[in-house]
Amino acid sequence: MKHSKYTQGHVDDTIVDHLKDSFYNTLVYKKILSAVSPRLRMLMSGSASLAPEIGDFLRSIHLSVIEGYGLTETSLIIALNKIEANRSGSVGQPIDCNEVKISEQGEFYPQI
């Protein structure tokens, strides 16, 4: 199963993809989820973006992963992915109450 298909949202699955997903869900994914917590449906990562492979894997086992970024010394949340616009390896857009400058290297500089 290609985990990268979960990076950009919905992708049309083939019948083979659907069968593989059902197979893995029955034999593997449900066991992973029940070992962690049977009620767990969403994870939040708030320090920085996850490696895309980790986010994609978690999404492939049917866990929503919301990534964000914040600095304890300035603001709890600076940027956050939205459920409907969620991309692995990204911390999302700055939330409305923050002003942020982005360096040429892609680093966030919150304006305080």
> Which residues are registered as beta bridge partners of 100?
110
CA distance 12 to 9: 10
C-alpha 31/C-alpha 46 separation (Å) is: 26
Q: What pLDDT is recorded for position 72?
A: 67
Closest to 58 in 3D by CA, of 24, 91, 31, 33: 33
Model confidence at 7, pLDDT cuts 50, 70, 90, reads very low
Structure confidence by residue, pLDDT tens digits, 54-111: 888 888 887 888 888 877 666 678 888 888 877 777 888 888 887 888 889 877 788 7
Q: What is the pLDDT of residue 4?
A: 42
| Lookup result for tokens 């991309």 | 87
Q: What is the spatial distance between Cα 12 and Cα 2, in angstroms, rounded to a whole number?
A: 13
Whether the pLDDT of residue 3 is over 50: the answer is: no
pLDDT at residue 32 tops 80: yes
pTM of the model: 0.59
Amino acid 74: pLDDT: 60
Query: Are 59 and 52 in contact, with CB atoms under 8 Å apart?
Result: no
Which DSSP string do the residues of 21-78 spell out, in sequence order?
HHHHIIIIIHHHHHHH-TT--EEEE-SSPPPHHHHHHHHHTT-EEEEEEEETTTEEEE
